[in-house]
Amino acid sequence: MQMEKIVEMSHIRKEFPGIVANDNISLYLKQGEVLALLGENGAGKSTLMSVLFGLYQPEQGTIRVKGKDVQINNPLQANDLGIGMVHQHFKLVHNFTIAENIVLGMEPTKGLSINIKYAADKISELSKHYGLNVDPWAKIEYVSVGMQQRVEILKMRYRDAEVVIFDEPTAVLTPQEIVDLGQIMKNLIKEGKSIILITHKLNEIKAMADRCTVIRRGRVIGTVNVQDTTLAEMAEMMVGREVNFSVDKEDHAAGDIVLKIRNLYVKDNRDSLSVKDFSLDVKAGEILGLAGVDGNGQTELVEAVTGLRKPESGKIFIHEEDLTESSIFHRIRSGIGHIPEDRQVRGLVLDYPLEYNLVLERYCDPPYAKNGFLQKEPIRKHAEKIIDIFDVRSGMGPTGAARSLSGGNQQKAIVGREIDLDPEILIAVQPTRGLDVGSIEYIHKRLVDHRNNGKAVLLVSLELDEIMDLSDRIAVISHGELVDIIPADQADENQIGLMMAGVKND
Partner 1 sequence: MTEKIGKKSKGPLGGFKAPVIPRPVVVGLSAVILGLIAGAILMGLTGNNPFEGYQYLFKGGLMSVERIGDTLATATPLILTGLSVAFAFRTGLFNIGASGQMLFGGFLATAVALSWTALPRPVLLLCILLAGIFGGALWGLVPGLLKALFNVHEVVCTIMMNWIAYWTIYYQIPKYFKGAFLETESAKIADAASLKAPWLTNLFDGSYVNYGLFLGIFAMIIVSIILNKTVLGFELKSAGFNRHASEYAGMKVNRNIVLSMCIAGGLAGLGGVTLYTGYAGNIQIGVLPSQGFDGIAVALLAANSPIGVFASALFFGMLHSGKGFMNAMTNVPPEIGDTIIATIIYFAATSVLIERVLDKIKSKRRGDK
Ligand X SMILES: Nc1ncnc2c1ncn2[C@@H]1O[C@H](COP(=O)(O)OP(=O)(O)O)[C@@H](O)[C@H]1O
Q: Give the residues lining the site for partner 1 (CB under 8 A).
A: 15-17, 55-57, 59, 306-308, 327-332, 338, 340, 345-353, 356, 360-361, 363-364, 369, 372-374, 396, 399-401, 403-404
In whole angstroms, the minimum distance from the beta carbon of 363 to partner 1 comes to: 5
- Residues 61 to 90 in contact with Mg ion, rule: CB under 5 A: 88
CA angle 182, 185, 186 (to 5 degrees): 85
CA 363, 366, 368, 369 dihedral sign is positive
d(CA 11, CA 287): 47
Collect all residues with Cβ–Cβ distance below 8 Å to 353 and sequence separation of at least 6: 398, 399, 400, 401, 402
* Number of C-beta neighbours around residue 186 at 10 A: 13
In whole angstroms, the minimum distance from the beta carbon of 219 to Mg ion comes to: 16
Tell me the residue length of the chain: 506
Pair type for strands 481-487 and 473-478: antiparallel
Task: Choose among partner 1, Mg ion, ligand X, none what residue 449 binds, the Cβ cut-off being 5 to 8 Å by kind.
Answer: none
Task: Choose among partner 1, ligand X, Mg ion, none what residue 32 binds, the Cβ cut-off being 5 to 8 Å by kind.
Answer: none
Judging by beta carbons within 10 Å of its beta carbon (0-12, 13-18, 19+), is residue 68 exposed, middle or buried?
Answer: exposed
Question: Closer to partner 1 at the Cβ: 278 or 356?
Answer: 356
Task: Choose among Mg ion, partner 1, ligand X, none what residue 21 binds, the Cβ cut-off being 5 to 8 Å by kind.
Answer: ligand X
Task: Choose among ligand X, Mg ion, partner 1, none what residue 93 binds, the Cβ cut-off being 5 to 8 Å by kind.
Answer: none
In whole angstroms, the minimum distance from the beta carbon of 306 to partner 1 comes to: 8
CB contact at 8 A, 313 and 269: no
Instruction: Read off the DSSP letter of residue 431.
Output: T
Question: Closer to partner 1 at the Cβ: 43 or 476?
Answer: 43
Task: Choose among partner 1, ligand X, Mg ion, none what residue 39 binds, the Cβ cut-off being 5 to 8 Å by kind.
Answer: ligand X
Question: Closer to partner 1 at the Cβ: 348 or 415?
Answer: 348
Question: Closer to ligand X at the Cβ: 17 or 67?
Answer: 17
Question: Closer to partner 1 at the Cβ: 17 or 111?
Answer: 17
Q: What is the largest CA-CA distance in the chain?
A: 73
Task: Choose among ligand X, Mg ion, partner 1, none what residue 405 binds, the Cβ cut-off being 5 to 8 Å by kind.
Answer: ligand X
In whole angstroms, the minimum distance from the beta carbon of 451 to partner 1 comes to: 23
Question: Closer to Mg ion at the Cβ: 79 or 88?
Answer: 88
How far separated are the first and last CA of the chain, in Å rounded?
54
d(CA 175, CA 171): 10
How many residues sit close enough to Mg ion to count as binding (CB under 5 A)?
2
Beta strands in 418-480 (DSSP E): 425-429, 456-460, 473-478
In whole angstroms, the minimum distance from the beta carbon of 56 to Mg ion comes to: 13
Question: Closer to partner 1 at the Cβ: 104 or 364?
Answer: 364
Residue 46 makes contact with Mg ion by CB under 5 A: yes
CB contact at 8 A, 354 and 400: yes
CB contact at 8 A, 212 and 224: yes
* Binding residues for ligand X (CB under 6 A): 16-17, 19, 21, 39, 41-47, 393-395, 404-406, 408
Question: Closer to Mg ion at the Cβ: 88 or 299?
Answer: 88
Task: Choose among partner 1, Mg ion, ligand X, none what residue 33 binds, the Cβ cut-off being 5 to 8 Å by kind.
Answer: none
Peptide bond into 367 cis (omega under 30): yes
Pair type for strands 5-16 and 60-65: antiparallel
Question: Closer to ligand X at the Cβ: 45 or 193?
Answer: 45
In degrees rounded to 5, what are phi and psi of residue 75?
A: -60, -30
d(CA 100, CA 114): 10
Task: Choose among partner 1, ligand X, Mg ion, none what residue 194 binds, the Cβ cut-off being 5 to 8 Å by kind.
Answer: none
- Which residue number places its CB atom closest to Mg ion? 46
Q: Which residues bind Mg ion (CB under 5 A)?
A: 46, 88
